[in-house]
Chains A and B, each alone.
Chain A
């Protein structure tokens, strides 16, 4: 018995010419884990929202959507709300009330459950999710990952038959994302929960999904098993498909000779890919695949003077709070493309804000080309050092993108702000969006717009906080191309990120922040070779292999 069934569903937004979804037919059988992928704007969200009746977008719908064989519009309101759980992208915005316990109870109260039943469900769910220690906490004191876990638990309190998740990990760091996915896997395996999850970063999902459905322009272009998806993605050679695969899968399928082992299943994890390694150590270094060639200019620039330097920087948010940065010493040399790694709350964002002059250290100094920050006027500093926050929304202050860009051009002292705005928009492919409200742009567009604003003053250094968060592979590629062009023009780049694959493809230097100081700093290859956790899946695959090969050679 199919749990969710869509039959030739076509959906058009009120003012749109083209349908957002056309003739979509798909099924999620009872207990199945379906991953819905596709680029931003391919119709993933519209599809999920159509299934969740309460969130159904206004517009023309044809076709049928059935839950357990009954069309969803025929379900009584209360049962429909409970039967289909829906988790959204932003962890913050889904939280309704003040404490975790109230949040978990909110849905049950809406359904008018008896106090006894509520308490029992609370006990069960808090136990399953390990949320007991958090029950009394205020939701605004939780981390992003914890918030999303609470959101998931709050939805499960209603005991849904089907769970829909719309890019639930897009705003989470990789560790929290993996934890959430692990929880979903448990739900799917232990409770046989039917799950339909949309995501554009699917490399962690392929190993746990039963089926992959890919949407493109509102149509289903693929529907099959994850391994078939991997084969199809490589066969197509389209970067949008190829880049959605895990690094090891891509590596394995691309080196496969059709005659050598046609029957072998494509590997989806590092463990499975071990079997694909050549018997002897014929590959000595990790085969990098960068979309843009890493410029080979790092050696001469190594000697260059420090552009930005931190001398014994010490920073705490409150007088008696533990210090985030503890006497940190670090230099950014002109022409570097540095990637900064570090766990959650390790102070990556704080360090970036200090280097951008947004915050002042309590002890120590930050210097720009040798001059102390305190000697340079703030306006000059902000012009010379560009800063892009994790949340691009923070950069906008006007009602249209055009006005924001103009304002930035004026701030940078350009002679013709209007023309500069047009030029910048054209350069970043935003020309068609100039008159939109910044909040109506997609995350990727918001980010490019914020980047365009920051670049108006032609900064010598650009500091970006988690720039790849929530971007689909193609948007990431576009961002990388812009950053590469900037780097070629001599802009020094510093990225704080969790995205190891991105760093491996582009950085000229990698650093690790831990315990308030930089604990590792070096060229990407050396950096990743020595790491187990902060390493790409390919580095992890080759690490053990390389070692055994070396040992064999030594003997």
Chain B
């Protein structure tokens, strides 16, 4: 679907850059507070994009994953100078606790970003991007996404009718079920290969393989895409410079340095927040346009 509202309406290339950058910095930067700023931005983006509906669906597995990292790291890693306590004879160090917490935040941040990725960069947009880089592979991917639901539906139809002939994977002994399943798949394959020949005919009939292919695109690069890309590039460059200068990185081992945001760390946190929260701007801008037009209308 080509959505016309807010962040989703941006060109797929801009969206790809946003996610590539967001994820890269999410893994390059290593400071609990900087990453928390990013996580806050990502959660706000989720709220803006679909009132966090899909985030809520994913929240439990994400929290479990983050908690797992948070707990397991201090138990497995014993590096660090500051021993907080002993669990049996296992030393629990402050450093490994902070390290685990940072990892947990990093994981939560990356996953939260991925939730919006699924919302925004739909299959269509992904294929569009892909088709420019690898046209042949993209065609195969498109054919496969068309084929799989068809195969699934056919297998259902086939199983329904073949049950009347005693070929069933839900009745009888295990051996019978396995044989039945194999028979069903064999038939499905033979049938689908027959049809694939016709699909090949249909492709040839429409000039497939007569020369260089071109790519149909349904997306246009507009001024707003340029603006968005500019903002991303500027923030990204600043972040990169900060990271290269050693900011946004917390030295944990061998001895923990103070966790507070010192100097450049604050700027990096702000920059990362702005970068991740960019969807908010576009959602707000278009929502305002709607309010204005509703006012008039």
Contact = CB atoms under 8 A, between A and B. Distances in A.
Contacts of A353: 160
Contacts of A85: 205
B210 A110 contact: yes
A114 B202 contact: no
Interface in B213-240: 213-218
Contacts of A106: 203, 206, 208
B150 A140 contact: yes
A394 B153 CA distance: 12
Given A109-B213, A110-B213, A407-B165, A158 B146 contact: no
A308 B163 CA distance: 20
B206 to A, nearest CB: 4
| Chain A binding surface, main DSSP class | helix
Interface stretch (B186-194, B259-267, B284-292): B186-194
B173 interface: no
A47 to B, nearest CB: 16
Interface stretch (A96-104, A277-285, A421-429): A96-104
B124 interface: yes
B207 A110 contact: yes
Contacts of B137: none
A82 B216 contact: no
Interface in A359-388: 359, 378-379, 382, 387
B202 A96 contact: yes
Interface residues of A, number: 65
Nearest to A381: B164
Interface string B60-90: 0000000000000000000000000000000
Given A93-B195, A96-B199, A81 B210 contact: yes
A81 B217 contact: no
Interface residues of B, number: 52
A139 B215 CA distance: 19
A99 to B, nearest CB: 7
B149 A138 contact: yes
Contacts of B24: none
A97 B142 contact: yes
Nearest to B164: A382
B210 A109 contact: no
A397 B184 contact: yes
Contacts of B146: 95-98, 138-140
A81 B1 contact: no
Nearest to A391: B157
Interface of A: 52, 54-55, 77-78, 81-82, 85-86, 88, 90, 92-99, 101-102, 105-115, 118-119, 122, 136, 138-140, 151, 154-155, 158, 353, 356, 358-359, 378-379, 382, 387, 389, 391, 393-397, 407-408, 411, 437, 439, 453-454
7 contacts: A54-B201, A88-B202, A122-B216, A140-B153, A158-B206, A389-B161, A397-B187
Interface of B: 1-2, 124, 127, 139, 142-143, 145-146, 149-150, 153, 157-158, 160-167, 171, 183-184, 186-187, 190-191, 194-196, 198-199, 201-218
